[in-house]
Chains A and B, each alone.
Chain A
Amino acid sequence: MSREKTLRTTIDADSLRSELRDNSVRVIDVRREEDYKQSHIPNAANLPLANLLADDSPDKVLKTAQSFGIDDETPVVVYDDTFGALASRVAWTLQYIGHEDVSLLDVTYGQWKSLGLENDTKIPSFGKKDHSLNLHPDILATADYLEKAKEKENVILVDNRERLNYLEQHIPGAINIPYRTLASADKILRPKDELKRLLQNRNVKSDAEVITYCGSVGTLSGLAYYALKSVDHPNVKLYVRSFKEWKNLNRPIVKQENADYWDLSAE
């Protein structure tokens, strides 16, 4: 039972509600503090993404997790109101420091509320717990790692920004799967069979090593990380510092030449 749990990437609202009733889960709300204060899922802790990004060193993240009463065995569920992208970044960071059992709520907080599900304004307090530090470098890609890896045969680099941004500039060799491709109308991720079909069409083979990246802090590509995990891709890495760092490091960039695609935009 607990073994299966650790493999889940998303959890549906009904299951989360029952786990909440059993008090067997820690929920993390990654929205801004003022939104959280207005209402949140009962007993959820608040970790605004901006706070995490201000210092996402393993030590700091570990301390935060411990202060939320999370130990090595505590199932954690993360949610946001930004189609799952911010939640993904936080969830990935917890996995990176070695927390096994973390999953994404499969709807956004907005959807949760529109389903009429319980919410609360009470700010809970948690007893501190111990959590070990066990880094998982196998889910992280750095610029140097990426530079070498992308030359290898069975490595696929995926850019999850919008199409126009990708056309304008991207890391050489990357394919583009915009983050909007990943969601369905009422879930942060499409059903598995659809995701599998999409990846198959794009020739993303299940035995390939996949590295995802996006614009700056690994949110959109974090969602893609979980999309791939949800269809059991064994080897996925997040280039967490993403295109912003790549550009700042003056690494090579390519663009789609000889076309004025930006002028097709009504914005």
Chain B
Amino acid sequence: MTATNLKQSTEYVKPKMNWAKLEESENFANTVKLYRQGKIDPDNFRRFRLQHGAYGTRMTDDYAMVRIKIPAGEIYPNQLERIAHLSEAFSIGNAHVSTRQNIQLHWVVLEDVSEIMRGLAEVGLTSREACGNTVRNVMCSPLAGVCSEEAFDATPYAFATARFLLRNPMNQNLPRKFKFNFTCCEKHGMARITDVGLIPQTRDLDGKTQRGFKVFLGGGLGNKSFVGHQLEDFTPEEDILYTSIAVLRIFDRLGNRKNMARNRMRYLVDEMGWENFQNLVLKERMVVRATQSVIVKLEVDNTPKEIKRPIRITDTDGRSPPDGYSRWLKTTTFKQKQARFRAVFLTLESGDMTANQLRSLAKICSEFSAEGFARNGFSQDIVLRWVAEDDLPRLYSRLLEVGLANPGSLTMASPVGCSGTTSCNLALTNSHRLAKEIQRKFLELNLDEDQTLHDATIKISGCPNSCGQHEIATIGFYGGGGRVGKDMYPVYQLSLGGRADGEAMLGVNCLRVPAKRIIPIILKIIELFKKNKKQDDTLASWIHRIVKGNENSEIKSVNDFKKILEPLTIPPTKEQDKDFYADYGSDSSYHTKTGKGECAA
């Protein structure tokens, strides 16, 4: 053997599924050339581009954002390393973890998108149908399989659904995008705010346990948001695919293809009325079942996963873990239903990771996770599951070395912020940076350690379109422009009391808060909570009582909040405070500027 043939062997767990088709890369490259030569009109090209997962970029035709689908959020070490490389070669040397288990590469030269597709295909990943009027990434709770509240692990069902629908001719040209979310239980997940949401459940049938789901239809966040309706008490597992097909067929047939603003399925459900829609789905399902039962079946792979206990990596030299360990342990780790294992939620800032962090993460998850891969979650985060409790101090040290050991991922101190004016055509404000600023402030004030705040959430969108999911946040914001005379300043609409769990409801609008007053306003809300809370209250439970009109302290309604907070939102003059008139991340005066939207992120 010659020296240069020697390859370093790394023993990584191999991806279970291959989502890729290599030829799509070449096809994309050729189509870009034809488009640049003016041989394809812009509308057709846009449709093609989006179907292949390349989204437009703020104020330019030269760049795209490539959205990499991570079905059910399962991402493997070799895939992390590949994304690291692709981000340096063709993007900004960073990758962004989204709220829908995608990983996004921004500011990619349109002519390089095909190279990214090729690089992804080599490790089994795809961006196909990550944008456009298609079935988007099929999500699954990052805790599926380890959550003590779940009836069973939904992951195989999410995989089977994703596999059945990817590239399926049935859903290449829907009236609008379409989203599936599988969750583990009522608490962890977003079954009620998506087109089709599924929560595993079981029932006893003739002495046998039967698997099935609660299926929620017609939910979703956006310019107008709705909470989904449950189709029936129990949808048995063998009906899941028929139900999905039936719903997609109805949406394809009846969804609004004319009005961009009302073409998501939730509007169809709203216009028809839930009972009519429900009946239609049940009828359509009978037809689907009768015509397709022999041919089509979800291929659910329920073989138990291999859990390797990694070689014991913890030193036994009795050294105490580095500073900050207990805080990190308390605010980022989740006890699995399997004894002595935890799921560790890495704290990112607005979902951003550097290429070096991705590379380190590949090694770390291979070493520390007994399943050998990572998951991305619903909150712009990455989750390492199956970490033995003995290994947590050592894991913490490793994460510290690469800047991934910040505390607070499972607390209010980790806000979600969409990409905002960093890259999005629709954005009005820099929500991305605002989320980072809030996070830094919260960690500085140790608010992640406050037990009464831990179940509250902060979510921020840079425009009314809800990519930051502000409407299901305890404290939510969406961006816009405010004005004093001729001068504009960035401002956010504050909403309170949103939640996505079993009692899902959308946040109630409170008032408009200038960007540079958001942190003081949040701190003021916390102060009011501390003053008025009852024993055992958390900020979330207290706010929920207020928005439901069940509170009897000083603040009984959202309107009472508004009265107290309003004085903090009065704009100074430009002479008094120039900074007020600039958005985060910018030192020049604020003005709104938007291009054409293509979908959310």
Contact = CB atoms under 8 A, between A and B. Distances in A.
Interface residues of A, number: 37
B244 to A, nearest CB: 34
A181 B107 CA distance: 14
B509 interface: no
A260 B89 contact: no
Contacts of A263: 420, 422, 430, 432-433, 436, 584-585
Given A201-B114, A263-B432, A115 B423 contact: no
B354 A266 contact: yes
Nearest to B30: A201
Interface stretch (B136-144, B251-259, B287-295, B345-353): B345-353
Contact of B115 (A164, A201, A259, A262): A201
B89 A180 contact: yes
B3 A261 contact: no
Contact of A115 (B3, B422, B593): B3
Nearest to A112: B3
B107 A114 contact: no
B109 A202 contact: yes
Interface stretch (A12-20, A45-53, A57-65, A141-149): A12-20
Contact of A163 (B107, B111, B354): B107
A263 B403 CA distance: 17
Contacts of A264: 92, 94, 96, 106-107, 352, 419, 422-423, 432
A164 B92 contact: yes
B59 A259 contact: yes
A181 B29 contact: no
A256 B354 contact: no
B115 A267 contact: no
Contact of B29 (A114, A201, A258): A201
Q: How large is the interface on B (under 10, 10 to 19, 20 to 34, 35 or more residues)?
A: 35 or more
Nearest to B104: A264
B89 A259 contact: no
A116 interface: yes
Given A260-B421, A263-B430, A202 B585 contact: no
Given A257-B59, A264-B92, A114 B423 contact: no
Given A265-B93, A265-B352, A260 B4 contact: no
A75 interface: no
B468 to A, nearest CB: 14
Interface in B43-64: 57-60
Given A260-B433, A263-B422, A263-B430, A115 B92 contact: no
B115 A266 contact: no
A1 interface: no
Contacts of A100: none
A167 interface: yes
Nearest to B433: A263
B194 interface: no
Contacts of B94: 264-267
Interface string A142-183: 000000000000000000001110010000000110101100
Contacts of B6: 115-116
B8 interface: yes
A185 interface: yes
Contacts of B423: 259, 261, 264
B89 to A, nearest CB: 4
Contacts of A162: 88, 92-93
Contacts of A178: 88-90
A117 B3 contact: yes
B112 interface: yes
A203 B585 contact: no
A107 interface: yes
Given A266-B94, A266-B349, A107 B4 contact: yes
A163 B92 contact: yes
A231 B7 CA distance: 25
B85 interface: yes
Given A164-B92, A202-B112, A265-B93, A258 B3 contact: no
A256 B107 CA distance: 11
Given A163-B93, A163-B107, A264-B96, A14 B115 contact: no
A117 B4 CA distance: 10
Given A202-B112, A266-B94, A167 B107 contact: yes
A133 interface: no
A265 B584 CA distance: 14
B58 A259 contact: yes
B239 to A, nearest CB: 42
Contacts of A201: 29, 32, 111-112, 114-115
Interface in A227-267: 256-267
Indicate the member of A176, A265, A266 with the most B CB atoms within 10 Å. Answer: A266
A135 to B, nearest CB: 34
Interface string A1-41: 00000000000111001000000000000000000000000
Nearest to A201: B111
B209 to A, nearest CB: 45
Interface string B336-363: 0000000000001100111001000000
B586 interface: yes
A260 B420 contact: yes
Interface in A113-141: 114-117
A197 B423 CA distance: 27
B59 A258 contact: yes
B92 A116 contact: no
A214 to B, nearest CB: 15
A173 B426 CA distance: 27
B80 to A, nearest CB: 14
A261 B115 contact: no
B88 A260 contact: no
Task: Identify the interface centre among B4, B6, B585: most chain A CB within 10 Å of its CB.
Answer: B4
Contact of B88 (A14, A180, A262): A180
B276 interface: no
A261 B94 CA distance: 11
Interface string B1-31: 0111011100000000000000000000100
B348 A13 contact: no
B201 interface: no
A182 to B, nearest CB: 8
Contacts of B430: 260, 263
A185 B3 contact: no
Contact of A266 (B89, B90, B107, B348): B348
A220 to B, nearest CB: 12
Contacts of B353: 266
Contacts of B32: 201
A72 B25 CA distance: 46
Contacts of A266: 94, 348-349, 352-354, 357, 403
Contacts of B8: 114
Contacts of B161: none
22 contacts: A12-B4, A14-B3, A164-B92, A164-B107, A176-B109, A180-B93, A181-B89, A181-B90, A185-B85, A198-B112, A256-B60, A260-B432, A260-B586, A262-B422, A263-B422, A264-B92, A264-B96, A264-B352, A265-B94, A266-B94, A266-B353, A266-B357
> 3 shortest A-B CB distances, which residue pairs?
A180-B88, A266-B352, A263-B433
Given A163-B91, A201-B29, A258-B593, 14 more contacts: A12-B4, A107-B4, A117-B3, A162-B92, A164-B93, A198-B112, A202-B112, A258-B58, A259-B59, A260-B422, A260-B585, A263-B430, A263-B433, A265-B352
